[in-house]
Structure 1
Amino acid sequence: MAFATNGAATIHYERMAAGDGPVVILLAGAGRPSTDFDYSFCAPLVAAGFVPIRIDSRDTGRSTALAGDVPDLHAIKAAALGQGDAPPPYGIADMVADVLAVMEAEKIGAAHLVGRSIGGLVAQQLAVQTPGRVLSLSLVMAMSRSMADAVPDAALDRLAADHIPDEDAYVARQLGVAQANGMVADFDAGRVAEEARTAWRHGVHRGGTARHFAASLAAPDLRPALGALRVPTLILHGRHDKVIPVARALETAEAISGAIIEIDEQMAHDGPPRLRAAWGTRIAAHLAGSPNTT
């Protein structure tokens, strides 16, 4: 196992291929460990000569957990809307610093970045902060600013009450999430349960999803700064995404010069096997066509 250090945070990461090909850094969604980027996703990248490195964001997997920090999501939402001052336990910039620590540990000057949901926010902010270190962006379920103006209070209440004492409880939670956020045709209870157990055994931290959500609520509006980016960008989004509306992906594409956006009519806010394989194949083609691939 490999780890990098950023202050008090220890960040676990894993190379998914040997060799010295161009590096692709994989950043998962809120509260999700790096196992979401499984071998079916990584295989097309490896076949195309890339070296994927999947990262457990802080509060996921084998990386540092901040289990003692309980964010007041309603206060953070209000602050994001200009009402009061309630900072999250950590911000997107801290998660960017974690990724840069991995890059330093591996002596990576620049890399392709793939981000899913909040992982895409981290990728975009890293590109804005240190554009010379980003060869391309691939954003799945994309947003480029806080969702504070769109997320219902009931969703924050559910996150605040999210208590998962054991593996079976996590499986039950993920079955509910898959039914709520995915396409009916993709729901497979056995598959969802198996993937939930894989994630739990790799590392699911109490309150991690809420703390990630707090960071995304407090995220800055990146759109003005994104206009200066000149990196090949691909955005993949679902027409039926109820968590991040299509409008958020479209405005992200509009903010980044030359960005390609593809709206999948059979995709929601979920990543079943058929989509993971399709994303890997599409992103591999995007990277292979990038002028920054060396």
Structure 2
Amino acid sequence: MRTVVALPGTFCSPVIYDRVRLLLDERFDVRAPSWMTDAPSCTLDGVAGWVADRLAADGSDPVLLIGHSTGGAIALRLALSRPDLVGGLMLINTGPHMRGHGDVTALIAGMERDGTSRVVGPVLDRSFHHAPTPEDRQRLLDYALEAPLGSALEVLRSQRAADLTPDLPALRMPVSIVHGRFDPVRTVEAARDMAAAIPGAGLHLVDSGHSPMYETPGAVVAAIEELDGRMDRR
């Protein structure tokens, strides 16, 4: 059975991966840790180290690692620092840096001033081109509102300061990049640039916004199965 570790983005509940989990067959064991609430440190390095320690303790074969948004930056950091733990890497609507990302500095300033209650709703809603069901939106909103403010500030400051672009050519495991065409924050051009910088990376453009695993789960499952096949052929 292939272990899949799926890291959600900032403020994003692990339930965002539920639709993918339901469509995958019994060959895949999908684990989506709640790093915002459980990791002792929420810098990119801190979360990557926390996940690495859990994987090393399991003693399992190298995993298929998925990272969405900020979770993608964490996944990149983990794949670069502990390639022995990662057999394949999928990056979903993310990037190696925050240049051109939009309003991250204003977002951090707003949270420093007012907390998270005013920002999580707009951040959630802009993450979907195809809106979630009212029930799912409420579940995602509840998680975001309960996430620790300190964790959100720590990871966003860390991500803003990071630029992993020079390290991308060092990735040697199979890599797939999945990107929603209608993401208002991360552009298709940026996804193409990242794919071009990673040796042998595949690029899958899908008809979604920032959250393909929820909006177009079938396309994400197809990309996971393709990446799994490339892992088997190594």
Q: Could you say which TM-score interval applies, normalised by the shorter chain?
A: 0.7 to 0.9
For 1:234, give the aligned amino acid.
Answer: S
Contact 2:2–2:29 (Cα < 8 Å) also in 1: yes
1:227 aligns to what? 169
> Tell me, what secondary structure is at the counterpart of 1:289?
helix
> Tell me, what secondary structure is at the counterpart of 1:291?
helix
Q: Give the CA deviation at 1:52.
A: 1.6
1:112 aligns to what? 64
Contact 2:9–2:69 (Cα < 8 Å) also in 1: yes
Tell me if 1:248 matches 2:190. yes
Q: Give the CA deviation at 1:285.
A: 1.5
Cα distance, 1:274–1:117 mapped onto 2, change above 3 Å: closer
Cα distance, 1:159–1:245 mapped onto 2, change above 3 Å: farther
Normalising by structure 2, what TM-score? 0.84
Q: State, as a whole percentage, how many aligned pairs show the same letter.
A: 22
Contact 1:29–1:116 (Cα < 8 Å) also in 2: yes
Contiguous gaps of at least 5 residues in structure 2: none
Contact 1:178–1:270 (Cα < 8 Å) also in 2: no
Cα distance, 1:258–1:177 mapped onto 2, change above 3 Å: same
1:280, 1:48 → 2: CA distance?
A: 16
Once superposed, what is the RMSD of the aligned Cα atoms?
2.8
Normalising by structure 1, what TM-score? 0.68
Tell me if 1:96 matches 2:48. yes
Tell me if 1:53 matches 2:31. yes
2:126 aligns to what? 180
> Tell me, what secondary structure is at the counterpart of 2:231?
coil
Cα distance, 1:204–1:25 mapped onto 2, change above 3 Å: same
Match for 2:141 among 193, 196, 199? Answer: 196
For residues 32-89 of structure 1, give each alpha carbon's deviation from its aligned partner in whole angstroms, at most 9, with x where no partner exists: 3423222x221233x15021222121xx23x1567xxxxxxxxxxxxxxxxxxxxxxx
Contact 1:120–1:142 (Cα < 8 Å) also in 2: yes
Q: Give the CA deviation at 1:141.
A: 0.6
Contact 1:178–1:187 (Cα < 8 Å) also in 2: no
For residues 191-241 of structure 1, give each alpha carbon's deviation from its aligned partner in whole angstroms, at most 9, with x where no partner exists: 4124333x369x52234322221121122x323322132222111112222
Match for 2:200 among 241, 248, 258? Answer: 258
Match for 1:32 among 12, 18, 32? Answer: 12
Contiguous gaps of at least 5 residues in structure 1: 1-20, 67-89
Contact 1:29–1:118 (Cα < 8 Å) also in 2: yes
Cα distance, 1:250–1:226 mapped onto 2, change above 3 Å: same
For residues 87-130 of structure 1, give each alpha carbon's deviation from its aligned partner in whole angstroms, at most 9, with x where no partner exists: xxx53222211111111221224111010011111111222122
Radius of gyration: which is bigger?
1
For 2:2, give the aligned amino acid.
Answer: P
2:214, 2:107 → 1: CA distance?
A: 26
1:190, 1:51 → 2: CA distance?
A: 25
> Tell me, what secondary structure is at the counterpart of 2:27?
coil
> Per residue, is there more helix in 1 or in 2?
2
For 1:52, give the aligned amino acid.
Answer: V
For 1:210, give the aligned amino acid.
Answer: L
> Tell me, what secondary structure is at the counterpart of 2:109?
helix
1:48, 1:293 → 2: CA distance?
A: 20
Contact 1:233–1:258 (Cα < 8 Å) also in 2: yes
Contact 1:137–1:232 (Cα < 8 Å) also in 2: yes
For residues 131-189 of structure 1, give each alpha carbon's deviation from its aligned partner in whole angstroms, at most 9, with x where no partner exists: 222111111112012x156444433333334525xxxx6xx865433433432x52644
1:278 aligns to what? 218
Cα distance, 1:159–1:269 mapped onto 2, change above 3 Å: farther
For 2:195, give the aligned amino acid.
Answer: A
For 1:259, give the aligned amino acid.
Answer: A
